[in-house]
C-alpha cells in the first residue's frame, strides 16, 4: 500500500459525527467555528418611521404606529406608521400627479438614469441594507448580504437597461405605461420583492404606491430615503406601511391601474375577487409547495447540499422552497442518512453571525404556525427527525426538521408550511415521481437531480411548475422570468416578460 493511500485510509477511519449538540459545529478534535458576529454599530435607523408620500416622510392621518420586533431577540427594533384610507388617497394622488407631470413624460433614457442611480446606491449601501434586513426579518446575514441585496441591485440595473429600449422589447408596437401601480409584498424577501415590483414599473414609466409587510418594513423605508438621495422626482415612489387593511385599501382604490401582489394564496384569492369586474390589471405571485426530485443516478452529495439549500437556508421562508422531496427508491436510505448528517452540521442561531445557516423565524405568528404543523405531522403518523443543535432561548428559532413515512394526502405534504420542514417520499419510476410531484394545488418551482439530460427534459417539461431547476436549486437572475401555475399565481415577473404587466401595447 502506498503512503498516500495509507493516509487516505487513516482519515476515513475517523468517524464523521458531531460530538456535542451545539449551535456551532463542534467536531471533537477536528474543527470548530468561532463566533463571527457582523457588527451593526454603524447602521442607523430611526425609532419611528412615518409614511413616504410625495417625496416626504409624513405622519399618518390617524396618528397610529405599530412596533416591529427583531425576531432573534424579541426586542422592539422600531415602529412604523399605520396607513389608513386617507393616507392611501394621498399616496395615490401623489403618484397620479407624478405620473402625469413628470414620470410618464420624461425622456426614457432619463428615467433609465434614475433607475441606474438607485441600483448604484443600493450597491453602495449594501452592507447597511443587509444588516437591517437581517435584524428586522431574522434571515442570516450571509443570505441578505450575498443574495437579497445584490439581487435587488441587479434587478434595478437590469430594468434600468430596458427603460429606453422598450421598442426592442416589443418590436412594431408602442409600449405605453399604465399609470399608478399598487404593489403589496410579503416578509420573506422584503427588499428583493420591492425591487421585483418597483424596477419594472419605473422602467416602463409607471409610478407606484408600495406596501411592505407589517413585520419587515424597515428596508422599504430605507429605500424611500435612498429615493430621496437619488433625486427621484416626488411622488414617483410612495411607501405606505400598515397591515392587511392597508393592503386592501390599495387593492380597492379607484384610481389605481394595476395591482402587483406577492403573498399567500389565501390573500391572493381575496384580491382576485375584489378585482373581478374592475379594469385593473393584476399579477399574483402566490404560495408554493415545491417538489425536489432525486433520481438514482444523481450526484448524491450535490443533491443533498441542494436539498439543504432548498428548504433549510432562509428558514424555509421561501415561496419556491423545495419542501417536498421525492427520492428514487434505490438511493432513498443513503440520501436520508446523508441529509441527517448534513442537518447536524447546520448552525441555527444569531442571524447576524456570519456562520449562521438558519436564522430566526420571522414572527411569533409564523413560529406558532410551524410548530402547529410539526404537531400535525406527528399526529398524522409521520416520523419526525430534527437536528440536535441547541437553539437560543429567546427569539423564534426552529430546528431543521424532516418527516418520513408520509403519504400524499398528509397535510404536511399538501399545505405550505413556510418553515424549515421537509417531507420525504420515494418513487420507483420517473412517471410515478412526476405524478406525485404534480399532486398539489401549487405549481411555483421545483427541482430535478440526475446525471441524464433526457430525464431533466422529461421531468422539467412534465412537472407543472413555473420554474424547474436541474442539479441546482433556488438560483435567481433578473433576466429570467418567474411565476406560478395553478394556485401559485398569475403572470410573470423578471426578465423581458416582467415588462408586460406594466404596459399597454399600441
Ligand atoms: P400574506 O399574508 O398574503 O401577506 C402578503 C402581503 O399582503 C403583506 O404585505 C400583507 O400585509 C398584505 N395583506 C394581508 N391581507 C391583505 C388583504 N386582505 N388585502 C391586501 N393585502 C393584504 O403573505 P405573507 O405571510 O406575508 O407571505 C408569505 C406568503 O407569500 C407565502 O404563501 C409565500 O409562498 C408567498 N410568496 C410568494 C412569492 C412568489 O413569488 N410567488 C414570493 C414570496 C412569498 P401584512 O404584512 O400586514 O399581513
Ligand atoms: Mg421585524
**pLDDT given for residue 26 in this prediction:** 52
Residue 239 to residues 84, 98, 163, 225, Cα–Cα distance (Å):
13, 14, 22, 10
Determine the distance separating the centroid of ligand 1 and the alpha carbon of 285, expressed in angstroms: 9
267: Cβ below 6 Å to ligand 1?
yes
How far is 255 from 239, CA to CA, in rounded Å? 17
292 phi, psi to nearest 5 deg? -130, 115
Ligand 1 pocket test, pick from 71, 256, 267 with the greatest ligand atom count within 8 Å of Cβ, gives 267
Q: Where are the alpha helices (DSSP H) in 312-449?
A: 329-344, 364-379, 411-414, 430-438
Helices and strands, number each (H, E), in the chain? 17, 20
Q: Is 398 noted as a catalytic residue in this protein?
A: no
**pLDDT given for residue 31 in this prediction:** 61
Residue 241 to residues 85, 99, 184, 236, 477, Cα–Cα distance (Å):
12, 21, 10, 17, 28
How far is 164 from 153, CA to CA, in rounded Å? 19
Q: Where are the domains of the chain?
A: 52-61+82-285, 291-470
489: Cβ below 6 Å to ligand 1?
yes
Ligand 1 pocket test, pick from 137, 139, 184, 186 with the greatest ligand atom count within 8 Å of Cβ, gives 186
CATH topology assigned to domain 52-61+82-285: Aldehyde Dehydrogenase; Chain A, domain 1 (3.40.605)
Give ∠ CA 208-213-216 in degrees, rounded to 5: 115
Ligand at minimal distance from the CA of 416 is: 1
288: Cβ below 6 Å to ligand 1?
yes
**pLDDT given for residue 390 in this prediction:** 85
**C-alpha 416, offset from chain centre:** 14
Q: Which of 370, 444, 467 is nearest to 412 (CA)?
A: 370
Give the DSSP H/E element, type plus range, for residue 77: strand 75-81
Architecture in CATH of 291-470: 3-Layer(aba) Sandwich (3.40)
Q: Which atom of ligand 1 is nearest to the CA of 489?
A: 41
Q: Is 143 noted as a catalytic residue in this protein?
A: no
244: Cβ below 6 Å to ligand 1?
yes
Record the pTM. 0.94
Contact criterion met (CB below 8 Å) for 117 and 202: no
**pLDDT given for residue 34 in this prediction:** 83
Which residue's alpha carbon is nearest to atom 42 within ligand 1? 319
Ligand 1 pocket test, pick from 64, 65, 245, 263 with the greatest ligand atom count within 8 Å of Cβ, gives 263
Catalytic residue among 82, 133, 214, 319, which?
319
262: Cβ below 6 Å to ligand 1?
yes
Q: Which atom of ligand 1 is nearest to the CA of 444?
A: 41
The residue written with cell numbers 443574495 in the block is 147
247: Cβ below 6 Å to ligand 1?
yes
498 phi, psi to nearest 5 deg? -70, -10
Pairing of strands 175-177, 421-427: unpaired
Catalytic residue among 128, 285, 416, 493, which?
285
Contact criterion met (CB below 8 Å) for 38 and 354: yes
Q: What is the pLDDT along the chain (506 residues), one digit of tens a residue?
A: 444 444 444 444 444 444 344 444 555 444 667 889 899 988 999 999 999 999 999 999 999 999 999 999 999 999 999 999 999 999 999 999 999 999 999 999 999 999 999 999 999 999 999 999 999 999 999 999 999 999 999 999 999 999 999 999 999 999 999 999 999 999 999 999 999 999 999 999 999 999 999 999 999 999 999 999 999 999 999 999 999 999 999 999 999 999 999 999 999 999 999 999 999 999 999 999 999 999 999 999 999 999 999 999 989 999 999 999 999 999 999 999 999 999 999 999 999 999 999 999 999 999 999 999 999 999 999 999 999 988 999 999 999 999 999 999 999 999 999 999 999 999 999 999 999 999 999 999 999 999 999 999 999 999 999 999 999 999 999 999 999 999 999 999 999 999 999 999 99
474 phi, psi to nearest 5 deg? 55, 45
Q: Which atom of ligand 1 is nearest to the CA of 214?
A: 46
Q: Which three cell numbers stand for residue 448?
A: 430535478
* Strand extents, DSSP E, 5-64: 48-49, 51-53, 56-58
487: Cβ below 6 Å to ligand 1?
no
Amino acid at each position: 500500500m502506498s503512503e498516500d493511500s495509507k493516509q487516505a485510509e487513516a482519515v476515513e477511519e475517523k468517524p464523521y459525527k458531531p460530538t456535542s449538540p451545539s449551535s456551532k459545529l463542534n467536531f471533537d478534535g477536528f474543527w470548530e467555528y468561532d463566533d463571527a458576529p457582523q457588527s451593526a454599530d454603524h447602521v442607523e435607523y430611526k425609532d419611528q418611521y412615518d409614511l413616504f408620500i410625495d417625496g416626504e416622510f409624513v405622519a399618518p392621518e390617524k396618528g397610529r404606529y405599530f412596533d416591529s420586533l427583531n425576531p432573534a431577540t424579541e426586542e422592539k427594533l422600531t415602529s412604523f406608521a399605520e396607513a389608513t384610507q386617507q393616507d392611501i388617497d394621498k399616496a395615490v394622488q401623489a403618484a397620479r400627479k407624478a405620473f402625469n407631470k413628470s414620470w410618464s413624460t420624461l425622456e426614457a433614457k432619463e428615467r433609465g438614469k434614475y433607475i441606474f442611480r438607485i441600483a448604484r446606491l443600493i450597491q453602495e449601501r449594501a452592507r447597511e441594507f443587509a444588516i437591517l434586513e437581517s435584524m428586522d426579518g431574522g434571515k442570516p446575514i450571509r443570505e441578505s448580504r450575498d443574495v437579497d441585496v445584490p439581487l435587488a441591485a441587479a434587478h434595478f440595473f437590469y430594468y434600468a437597461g430596458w427603460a429606453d429600449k422598450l421598442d426592442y422589447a416589443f418590436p412594431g408596437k408602442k409600449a405605453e405605461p399604465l399609470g399608478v401601480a399598487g404593489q403589496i409584498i410579503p416578509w420573506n424577501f422584503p427588499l428583493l420583492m420591492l425591487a421585483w415590483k418597483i424596477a419594472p414599473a419605473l422602467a416602463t414609466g409607471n409610478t407606484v404606491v408600495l406596501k411592505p409587510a407589517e413585520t419587515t418594513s424597515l428596508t422599504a423605508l430605507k429605500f424611500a430615503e435612498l429615493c430621496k438621495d437619488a433625486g427621484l422626482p416626488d411622488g414617483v415612489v410612495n411607501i405606505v406601511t400598515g397591515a392587511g387593511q392597508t393592503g386592501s385599501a390599495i387593492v380597492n382604490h379607484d384610481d389605481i391601474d394595476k395591482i402587483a401582489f406577492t403573498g399567500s394564496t389565501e390573500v391572493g384569492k381575496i384580491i382576485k375577487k375584489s378585482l373581478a369586474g374592475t379594469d385593473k390589471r393584476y399579477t399574483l405571485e402566490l404560495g408554493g409547495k415545491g417538489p425536489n426530485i432525486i433520481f438514482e443516478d444523481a450526484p448524491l452529495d450535490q443533491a443533498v447540499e441542494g436539498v439543504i439549500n432548498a428548504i433549510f437556508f432562509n428558514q424555509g421562508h421561501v415561496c419556491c422552497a423545495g419542501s417536498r422531496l421525492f427520492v428514487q427508491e434505490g438511493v432513498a436510505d443513503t440520501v436520508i442518512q446523508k441529509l441527517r448528517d448534513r442537518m447536524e452540521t447546520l448552525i441555527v442561531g444569531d442571524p447576524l453571525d456570519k456562520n449562521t445557516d438558519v436564522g430566526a423565524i420571522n414572527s411569533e405568528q409564523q413560529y406558532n404556525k410551524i410548530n402547529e404543523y410539526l404537531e400535525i405531522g406527528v399526529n398524522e403518523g409521520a416520523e419526525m427527525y430534527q437536528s440536535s443543535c441547541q437553539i437560543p432561548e429567546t427569539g423564534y428559532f426552529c430546528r431543521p426538521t424532516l418527516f418520513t413515512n408520509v403519504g400524499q394526502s398528509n397535510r404536511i405534504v399538501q399545505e405550505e408550511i413556510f418553515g424549515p420542514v421537509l417531507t420525504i417520499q420515494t418513487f420507483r419510476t420517473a412517471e410515478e415521481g412526476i405524478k406525485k410531484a404534480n399532486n398539489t394545488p401549487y405549481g411555483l418551482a421545483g427541482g430535478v437531480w440526475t446525471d441524464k439530460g433526457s430525464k431533466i427534459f422529461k421531468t422539467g417539461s412534465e412537472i407543472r411548475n413555473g420554474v424547474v431547476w436541474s442539479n441546482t436549486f433556488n438560483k435567481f437572475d433578473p433576466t429570467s422570468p418567474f411565476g406560478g401555475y395553478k394556485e401559485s399565481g398569475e403572470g410573470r415577473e423578471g426578465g423581458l416578460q416582467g415588462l408586460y404587466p406594466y404596459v399597454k401595447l399600441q
